[in-house]
Structure 1
Amino acid sequence: MVTTSIAGPLASSVRQLLDFAWTQTRACAFAIALLSGVAASALLPGLPVARYDLLVAYGVLLTLLFWLRGWENGRDVAVIAVCHVIGLAFELVKVSLGSWSYPEPAVLKFAGVPLYGSFLYAAVGSYVCRAWHLFDLELVRYRPRLTALVAAAVYINFFSHHWLPDARWILAGLLLVVTAGTSAHFTVRGVRRRMPLALSFFLIGFFLWVAENLATYLGAWRYPYQLDGWQPVGMDKIGAWSLLISVTVVLVAVTRQQHGRQKTEDAATVVEGC
């Protein structure tokens, strides 16, 4: 009798966990497809078109597919486009400073950065947008202005620390302060759950680090210590990704707030009309 009473809640928890994992996988669809393309391109025989250039075409086709299938709406595509721009700027500076490199040749390559590189950041934007939809995500007690200000400082610090003192630990502390009490509410199997926003940053950062190890192993790009043979990416990158993901979340949150205000205004107009 006792065993049965325990088994019920345990089975329910397992189903919740599996559903959560499956929904996360669906949210990662663009990233999974992109990395699969990188892996497949590494296995292709010699072609007249450079691998990096093929991946640009593949990334564009993926973007069109997700939009035409309705997996991402116009608002999502706009956010992802901003992620492209932010990512490309990030790549141009970091590659010029030797932080990492794209050693293979390509026609669609500018200042050492292949244009497909920005699709890696677009994949992160796609994940956040799709997760917002699939989990019916809502940020509670969110401080949009303060969080956006710290996120902007985080982004700038990834450039400025090459010439000025690195403020990432200070910014990490500030991010914890401005997100204190902020939680992400989401739905799994009809049950509403919540997670501290700061914890979600860390968990996403961890899985981005795992993805980065896979991507560098497949030759998506190379860190200097990987040029003579692949080596695991240092765990310090978990912290870097945990900070950088705040930029994407802030961007998506802005569009959701604007959409929410528009819905409220439309509803008010309907009521007035009645």
Structure 2
Amino acid sequence: MTTPETRSLERRMGDWARARLPFALAEFAMFVLKQGWACLFGGLLLVAIIATKLVWQPEWPLQRYDFLFLFAVATQAVFLATKLETWEEARVILLFHLTGTAMEWFKVSAGSWAYPEAGVFVVLGVPLFSGFMYASVGSYMARVIRVFDMRFAPYPPFWTTVILAVAIYVNFFAHHFGPDIRLLLFAATVGLYARTRIWFRISDRDWWMPLPLAAILSALALWVAENVGTATGTWVYSGQLPGQMVSFAKLGSWYLLLYVAFVTVTLVCRSAVSAEAAPLAVKPGYK
């Protein structure tokens, strides 16, 4: 759980916004601030990617990829030491980190994308900091659930969500050898989660959003981050020209991968899911 100091900071920020802004604007401002707070790990990693691209010199004794790896390890250590993440959450985030790294090894060997720079902390052509990019997605999901007091209802049977997540993950590998079933998987995400609402609290009121819509918006944010990665030359997709934007098809890939990350995180956030139409944490009459 978060520290009392973290909760106190969030309350002070909310009190400041509500004292100076109309209700709707204050809620929006706090929504943006809380989202930024939730994606702190990924945001710091993205800033490090941009900053190192601007200042790094080839003659420096430490390679840029190696610095990014050490920076990510240090950041994760600080998150645990300050209780911004719990050890239980960290174990599940590590699982997503490892599955992401495994996919990186496969995709790089298959020629889907490449990492053009050198480094010591590189295995099978993949710099080890890349696993932290997946970990940052898991970190965001774990933190955003906590920061917004999220509940997911009505939630489908958990075993069905696990089967779908496994099918999505396997297809990222299998489509290189056989048919690509991502259209079927898109339909499955909508069919399974169509009724599921994400209930969340910004200040003292509950709001909701359809889960598939939240996945689309999150995928869009990750697509923007991917453009930052390719614009800085940190990784390059096969056939991508210098200055060219990442294909919109990657939106679909991230949309599907987000369900893998979400199901992984719900392994430790089971109290956030409810089979009922609305979770008990939601007060009657709130929308």
Runs of 4+ in 1 over 4 A off after TM superposition: none
Once residues 225 and 15 of structure 1 are traced to their aligned partners in structure 2, the CA distance between those partners, rounded to angstroms, is: 45
Q: Quick check: 1:225–1:231 contact (8 Å CA) kept in 2?
A: no
Q: 1:203 to 1:259 in 2, by over 3 A?
A: closer
Once residues 82 and 235 of structure 2 are traced to their aligned partners in structure 1, the CA distance between those partners, rounded to angstroms, is: 30
Hey, what does 1:3 align to over in structure 2? Answer: none
The alpha-carbon deviation at position 172 of structure 1 amounts to: 0.6
Residues 192-237 of structure 1 deviation map (CA, whole Å, 9 limit, x = unaligned):
11111111111111111011111211222111233x5231001111
Higher helix proportion, which one?
Answer: 1
Hey, what does 2:226 align to over in structure 1? Answer: 212
Once residues 135 and 192 of structure 1 are traced to their aligned partners in structure 2, the CA distance between those partners, rounded to angstroms, is: 9
Do structure 1's residue 200 and structure 2's residue 214 form an aligned pair?
yes
In our comparison, the structure showing a higher alpha carbon Rg is: 1
Hey, what does 1:61 align to over in structure 2? Answer: 74
Q: Unaligned stretches of 5+ in structure 2?
A: 1-20, 274-287
Q: Greater CA deviation, 89-98 or 71-80?
A: 71-80
Hey, what does 2:26 align to over in structure 1? Answer: 15
The alpha-carbon deviation at position 115 of structure 1 amounts to: 0.7
Once residues 73 and 88 of structure 1 are traced to their aligned partners in structure 2, the CA distance between those partners, rounded to angstroms, is: 22
Hey, what does 2:115 align to over in structure 1? Answer: 102
Q: 1:258 to 1:182 in 2, by over 3 A?
A: closer
The alpha-carbon deviation at position 258 of structure 1 amounts to: 7.0
Match of 1:49 among 56, 62, 65: 62
Once residues 213 and 97 of structure 2 are traced to their aligned partners in structure 1, the CA distance between those partners, rounded to angstroms, is: 25
| Aligned-residue identity in percent | 36
- 1:1-274 paired onto structure 2 within 5 Å: 11-42=22-53, 43-45=55-57, 46-143=59-156, 144-226=158-240, 229-257=242-270
The SS at the match of 2:149 is coil
Letter of the 1:224 partner, please give it. Answer: S
Residues 102-160 of structure 1 deviation map (CA, whole Å, 9 limit, x = unaligned):
01111111111111110110111111011011001111111221122111101110111
- Aligned positions, number: 251
Once residues 138 and 222 of structure 2 are traced to their aligned partners in structure 1, the CA distance between those partners, rounded to angstroms, is: 12
Once residues 31 and 116 of structure 1 are traced to their aligned partners in structure 2, the CA distance between those partners, rounded to angstroms, is: 12
The SS at the match of 1:139 is strand
TM-score, structure 2 length as denominator? 0.84
The SS at the match of 1:148 is helix
The SS at the match of 1:48 is coil
Once residues 94 and 179 of structure 1 are traced to their aligned partners in structure 2, the CA distance between those partners, rounded to angstroms, is: 28
Q: Unaligned stretches of 5+ in structure 1?
A: 1-9, 261-274
Q: 1:137 to 1:180 in 2, by over 3 A?
A: same
Once residues 18 and 94 of structure 1 are traced to their aligned partners in structure 2, the CA distance between those partners, rounded to angstroms, is: 39
Once residues 229 and 203 of structure 2 are traced to their aligned partners in structure 1, the CA distance between those partners, rounded to angstroms, is: 32
Higher relative contact order (CA 8 A, sep 6+): 2
Residues 63-114 of structure 1 deviation map (CA, whole Å, 9 limit, x = unaligned):
0011111111111111211111011101000000000000111111111111
Once residues 78 and 185 of structure 1 are traced to their aligned partners in structure 2, the CA distance between those partners, rounded to angstroms, is: 25
The alpha-carbon deviation at position 44 of structure 1 amounts to: 2.0
TM-score, structure 1 length as denominator? 0.88
Q: Quick check: 2:142–2:265 contact (8 Å CA) kept in 1?
A: yes
Once residues 41 and 255 of structure 1 are traced to their aligned partners in structure 2, the CA distance between those partners, rounded to angstroms, is: 34
CA RMSD of aligned residues (A): 1.7
